[in-house]
Amino acid sequence: MTGKEKTSGQLKKGEIVLATVESLAPGGDGVTRERGMPIFISRVAVGDRVELQVFDVRKDFARGRLLRVLDASPERVEPPCKLFKVCGGCQWQHIEYRSQLKAKERILQQTLKHLAGLDPQLVKPAIGAEGPLFYRNKVQFPVQHPRGSERLLAGYYKQDSHELVNIKHCPVQPEPLDRLLEAVKTFCEKHSIEAYDETTRTGLLRHIAARYSFDRRAILVTLVVNSAPEQVPSQRVKQRPASPVDLLKMTEIAQALMEKVPEIAGVCLNYNPHEGNRIMGDITISLAGQPYVIEKIATDRSDLPVRLRQGMEFKLSPTSFFQVNTAQTVKLMEQILDAVMAQPARFKTELPLVVDAYAGVGAIALWLAPIARQVIAVEEHPAAVDDGLLNLELNRIENVDFRLGMVESVFPQLLSEGLVPDVLVVDPPRKGLSQESLESIVKLAVERIVYVSCNPATLARDLKFFGRNGYKTKQIQPVDMFPQTYHIESVTLLERQT
């Protein structure tokens, strides 16, 4: 046994350790290996010399709590949020933005090399945001009452806890959402709206959700309540009865909000009587104003079609999926289009047939429509398809065809119709592609795949599968959709080897 191994074996819970942070890990924590095993510490920067206390020791790693920074890294900056030390909403506000981008590149490189055996040089420099603050177009705040008080708190949870941090001003959301949040709390307190308690399952208000359109400077508010509408049969709710809703009172609150905050275009009520941490329920009604906002994305690149410079508009309801960073969504879409058209000479005589899988409300499908002869958008959620069809009509797009169903069900249908796409775009959730989806994609035998991912680990797993089945990864382009956090979005281009 070496001295280093012996030292790591002696690491004990509660021990005070002096260490230098060597890197940042997936999940946002810093890592030091000075004691022979990785120790993970949150809220640190690479190069920090810190004093930490070990609070968890495992076989292969330990976790430490930052006590103080002895010597600050050049990458460390003053966080723009006064609540950063306690709020779990952001992890990297204390790190200079260019260093955040470099850290994301390294995490993506290391994950792809370790889990998929890919060359780290395939990862291109991350495309950063011109505005790394005030960018979020969607927020969802849980609510609570302080113990023994009727005051309503709303915000984010403390890191690794269910203790709520009451938010008044958040530097990653636009200022109108600060005013909205304060107004909702004020009017709900005035009307004695009780916050939901997840332990007792009592109380009415579960979440305050809002969407913000940067194009229209408009807000859509959704109040999520622990209740079921009267027309829903009680047998669908398997737990104790949820709190009843006084619709007259909720409508009064909605109208008061619209008078107080002029940016509010509409207020909705979402019914969620279900146990667990699911934020939205299945049924939403409008209380006041319009039940949607319209957002627009447009490129300023002169080499892209005029239609994309004019912009695409999207009607977004409370439950619509749309990227949370509108400005960076444009850059993401530009990268997707570039990957689709990576060999433009092939499409000089005939535009490509593109399949957009996990299409959601059709953002990618509509963006690609001007450079495709047809886009087939595959989506398994009926509400998303309904939104997508509305967006086609809104933008007068005629060459996008929505197919309702799961990828593994729809793709064989395409083959039976003789529809073999030139390019497949996939944008799956964080869990990545299912085994059934992966197998159906390989059977489709498409020449080029463009994989949009928000999770390096599942991306690496899926790229490894594609590599074993005849596809070569050509490049991975990170796009920073989530400044001040560890989350990483990327666009990967794969080509089928003949």
Active site residues: 454
Within 10 Å of residue 350's Cβ, how many Cβ atoms?
9
Q: What is the DSSP code string of 326-393? A: HHHHHHHHHHHHHHHTSSGGGGSSSPPEEEEES-TTTHHHHHHGGG-SEEEEEES-HHHHHHHHHHHH
When computed from its CA atoms, the radius of gyration of the chain, rounded to whole angstroms, is 24
CA distances from 359 to 97, 133, 317, 397, 444 (A): 31, 28, 16, 15, 18
Sheet of 138-144: strand order equals 164-166, 153-157, 138-144, 205-213, 218-225, 264-271, 283-289
Residue type, 494: L
Within 10 Å of residue 264's Cβ, how many Cβ atoms?
23
Q: What are the residues whose beta carbons fall under 8 Å from the beta carbon of 235, sequence distance 6 or more? A: none
290: closest CA among 179, 182, 390, 170? 390
The residues that bridge with 112 in the sheet, in sequence order, are: none
Residue type, 452: V
Residue type, 237: V
CA distance 469 to 10: 46
426: closest CA among 454, 453, 400? 453
CA distance 127 to 328: 9
CA distance 486 to 457: 13
34: closest CA among 56, 13, 52, 14? 52
Whether residue 443 contacts residue 416, with contact meaning beta carbons closer than 8 Å, is answered with no
CA distance 218 to 227: 27
DSSP 145: P
